[in-house]
Amino acid sequence: MAQPVGQNVFRVDGKAKVTGEALYIDDLRIPDTLWGMTIRSKVARGKIRSITYDPTFDWTGITCVDHRDIPQEGKNIVALIEDDQPALASDEILHMYEPIVLLACEDPERLEEASHHVQIDVEPLPSVLSIEESRKADVVIRRDDNVLSRLNIDKGDVDAGMAEADVIIEGEYSVSWQEQMYIETNGILAMPREDGGITIYGSLQCPYYIHNALQHLLGIGGEKVQVIQAVTGGGFGGKEDYPSIISCHAALLARKAGKPVKIIYDRGEDVASTTKRHPAVMRYRTGLKNDGTLVAMEILADFDAGAYVTLSPVVLSRGLIHATGAYRVPNVRIRGHMYATNTPPNGAFRGFGNPQVTFAAEQNIEHIAAQMGLDPIAFRRHNMLHEGDTTCTSQILKESVGGEECMDRVLEECKFDQLKAETEAFNAKAESEGSELRRGVGFSLFFHGGGFTGNGEERLKGRVDISLTENGGARIFTGSTDIGQGTLTIFPQIAAGELGLPMELVEMAEPDTDKVPDSGPTVASRTCMVVGRVVQRAAQDLIQSMVKAVGEGQELTYDPSKLAFMKGDEVFCTWKEASEKIRQTPAWPMRVETVYQGDPSIVWDEVAYRGDAYPVFSWGADVAVVEVNMDTFEIKMLALHTAEDVGKAINPLLVEGQIEGGTLQGIGYAVMEELKMKDGAVLNHRMTNYIIPTSLDAPEIHTYIVEVPYSNGPYGAKGVGELPMDGPAPAVAAAISMATGAHVCEIPFTPEKLQRALSAQSA
C-alpha cells in the first residue's frame, strides 16, 4: 500500500456532495415534525413586565414555551464557560435578540400568525452600545464595571525598556464585527424520547457542548441526551456554541409538544441573532533602537463581548497572546478587557481574537517602518521570532518555527522585488498619463497557536477509539466533526497510514454522542494536530492489542508496508490472519480507547499568564496586490500570494482549500464585510446588504505550503484551520497604503473609509 499521508486522497464525502445526496439538517424529513420559531426582544435592554398569550386567539395545535417551562430539576442557562446566559429571558433583557418565547406548529403559516398574538411587555432601560460607552460605565449593565473578563501579560520591564529606547511610536487600530456567513443557516431538530430524554440532530461543530448544555437545562443525565451531527454546511466558529442555544429551544418545544420540533433559522435571524467576530480597539506604544530593534511594547486591547460571556475570555486570551505579532520583544505589557455591551453576544469565528490583533500588530510594524524610514521587510526580518526566542508570554520556541521560511518562500515565489518595482512603474506611468488607477503591494507576517491554551489539551484529554471491523478493517470513533474542512478524509488517512490498510478499509463512525467519545470540540485548529495525533496513537494502540491477542506472548512488531506482524525479520502473521483469528478469541470485539498525551515539558502558569501558551505555532506570510480607482475609491484585489507552515500537509489539496478559503474570508474582513448596528439592532442582516466576496471579488490565490514538522503532531502536522484568516487584512491594508498613501487604521477599509482617510490626511 502506498502511504496515504501526504497524498491528495479524494474527500470521502465528495460524491454525496456533488450529487446532492448529502443530507443536511433541513433535508431530514421526520413524520409529524413541528416547525419551531423564536420570539425575541425588541429592545436592547429592559425588564420583562409580563408575557401574555392572547386569550382570544385559537391556540389549538400550537405549542408555547417560555422560561416557566424549564423543568424544576433543570436550570435556565446555556451552559458554557460561565452560566450567565439564560436559555429564555425571564426578567432582564440584555440585547435586541434575546429569546423570550418559543412557538411550534405543524403549519408554518399558523405559526407565523400565532407569533403576532404573543404580547411581551417590556420596560426599556438605558443601554450601552459601544466599547467606549461600556468603558465609561455611566450606565452599568454587567458586574460592577461592565468588564466581563480582563487579562494582563507582562514580560521583562516595560518602563526600563521604554527608557532605553531611542524612539517611541504610538498608534491606534480598530476592527469591527465580522459575520461567519456559512451558506447553510443554523438548524436543529429535537426528538423527545419516552424515557424523558432528548435526541438532537443538527448543523453543528461540537456535539458534546450540546450534550452538556441539555443536561444542565433539563436536569437529566448524559445517558438521556443524544446528539447527532447532520452534514454541516460550514461553521467557521459560528456553529461552535450557538447551536447549544437552539438545541435548548428545540428540546423545550419538543418535550412539551411530545413531537419532533425543527428550528431552521432564516438568513436574517441567523445574521442578526447569532455570534459574530468581536470588534476591538487596540492601542500600541512601541519602543525601538535607532537601528530598528524592538525593545518594548505596551498594548491596550479592548474587545466588545456583547451581552453575555460566551467564549469571550478565551478569545481575549488568544488575542493577547498573539498581540505582539511574530516578533521578538524583550519587554512587554499587555492589558486586555472584554467589555459588555447591549449587543448580541460575540463568539467564535475562525482566528478567535488573532485576526483582530494581527491587523493591529502588522499595521503597527508598517507605520513604524514608514516613520523611521526602514524597509518594512528588512525591519521584520531584523525582529522576527526564531527557534530559541521567547514570545510575549516568555514561551521559548523550541521547535517548528517556520516564520522565516514562509517569508522567504512567498517573497521568492511572487518575485517580490520585481513585483514592487513594476507596481511603482505602473503608478508613475498612471500619474504621468493622468490615469485614476494606482496599485500597491503589501506584506504581512503572522502566526497562530495550535490547540488549546497552556495545559488545556492535557486537562481535556481528548479521546479517540478505534475498533477492528468485521471485514478486517478499522473504524475510528471521534467526537471531532467534519464541517467541510475534511476530518472524514484525513483521520482515515492518518489511521490507514499507520496500519498500512487501504483507505476503503478504514471508516469513520457516525458523529453521534451515543457512539463516539468526547475528543474535545472541533475548534482552535486542533482537529488534525491534536485529535489527529490521538488517531495516530489509537492506531498504534490497536496494533499493540492485536499483538497481545495473537502474539502468544512473543515480541512482535508491525510492518504496515507488508501489512504483517513481524517476529524479527520473519512474517509472524498477516494483518488479515490476525484480524480473522481475533474474531475467534475473547479479545473480540476489539476496541481501543486512546487519550491525548501532551509534551510533558510544557509549563504554563495560568495565574501569571506566563509560559508555554500553545504546544506549537503555525506560521505564515502573505503578499497582497491591489488596484485602487482614485476617482471611485473602488479597491480591487489583483492577487494574493501566501506561504503557510503547517508542519506536514496530510492532504495537500485539502490544506490548500483551507488556506484559500480562510484567505478570502480575510480579504472580506479587510475591505468588504461591514456589519452595521444601530441602537443595538443589526441593520444589514441579509446577504444583499452584508457583502461577502463573490468569485469576481476574489483574486487568484497562490498558495505555497511550507512544512517544518512538529514532533507531537501526526506525521509532523500542525493546525491550519485559522492561520490563513490572520494574514490577509494587514497585507491588503499595506497594499492600499502603498497605492494611495492612506493610513489604514481601521477595518473593514471600505471605499467610504478610504475617501475619508485621504481627505482627513490632505486637510
Partner 1 sequence: MQIQLRVNGRDLEVDVPPMKRLLDLLREEAELTGTKEGCGEGECGACSILIDGRLSNACLIPAVQAQGAEIVTVEGVAGENLHPVQEMFIKHVGTQCGICTPGMIVAAKALLEVNPSPSRDEIREAIAGNLCRCTGYQKIIDAIEEASSLLQKEASRA
Sheet holding 118-124, edge to edge: 92-93, 46-53, 118-124
Beta strand ranges found along 290-436 (DSSP E): 294-306, 331-340
Determine contact, residues 594/376, Cβ cutoff 8 Å.
no
- Least separation in angstroms between CB 547 and partner 1: 37
Q: Running DSSP on this structure, what letter comes out for residue 641?
A: E
Determine contact, residues 100/51, Cβ cutoff 8 Å.
yes
Determine contact, residues 33/104, Cβ cutoff 8 Å.
no
- Least separation in angstroms between CB 392 and partner 1: 31
Determine contact, residues 671/732, Cβ cutoff 8 Å.
yes
Beta strand pairing call for 198-202 and 225-229: parallel
- Non-local CB neighbours of 497 within 8 Å, separated by 6+ positions: 3, 4, 5, 536, 560, 715
- Least separation in angstroms between CB 485 and partner 1: 7
Cα–Cα dist 355/319, whole Å: 8
Please name which of 691, 696, 701 lies closest in space to residue 732, comparing C-alpha atoms. 701
- Least separation in angstroms between CB 110 and partner 1: 14
Q: Among residues 8 and 544, whose Cβ is nearest to partner 1?
A: 8
Cα–Cα dist 328/451, whole Å: 22
Q: Running DSSP on this structure, what letter comes out for residue 213?
A: H
Cα–Cα dist 758/756, whole Å: 6
- Least separation in angstroms between CB 629 and partner 1: 18
- Least separation in angstroms between CB 267 and partner 1: 5
Place of cell 515565489: 413
Chain residues in the site for partner 1 (CB under 8 A): 8, 10-11, 13-24, 26-27, 180-185, 231-236, 266-267, 483-486, 653-654, 656-657, 660-665, 686-688, 692, 694-696, 698, 700-701, 703
Q: Among residues 417 and 700, whose Cβ is nearest to partner 1?
A: 700
Beta strand ranges found along 54-117 (DSSP E): 63-65, 92-93, 99-105
Q: Among residues 563 and 698, whose Cβ is nearest to partner 1?
A: 698
- Least separation in angstroms between CB 496 and partner 1: 18
Residues recorded for the chain = 763
- Least separation in angstroms between CB 446 and partner 1: 17
Q: Is 70 exposed, middle or buried (0-12, 13-18, 19+ CB in 10 A)?
A: buried
- Least separation in angstroms between CB 634 and partner 1: 16
Q: Among residues 107 and 223, whose Cβ is nearest to partner 1?
A: 107
Q: Is 453 helix (H, G, I), strand (E, B) or coil?
A: coil
Determine contact, residues 166/180, Cβ cutoff 8 Å.
no
Cα–Cα dist 339/341, whole Å: 7
- Least separation in angstroms between CB 618 and partner 1: 18
Q: Among residues 16 and 378, whose Cβ is nearest to partner 1?
A: 16
Instruction: Give the three cell numbers for residue 726.
Output: 490572520
- Least separation in angstroms between CB 113 and partner 1: 14
Q: Is 420 helix (H, G, I), strand (E, B) or coil?
A: helix
CA torsion, ordered 106, 109, 115, 116, to nearest 10 deg: -150
Beta strand pairing call for 261-264 and 34-40: parallel
Q: Is 116 exposed, middle or buried (0-12, 13-18, 19+ CB in 10 A)?
A: exposed
Determine contact, residues 501/575, Cβ cutoff 8 Å.
yes
- Least separation in angstroms between CB 180 and partner 1: 8
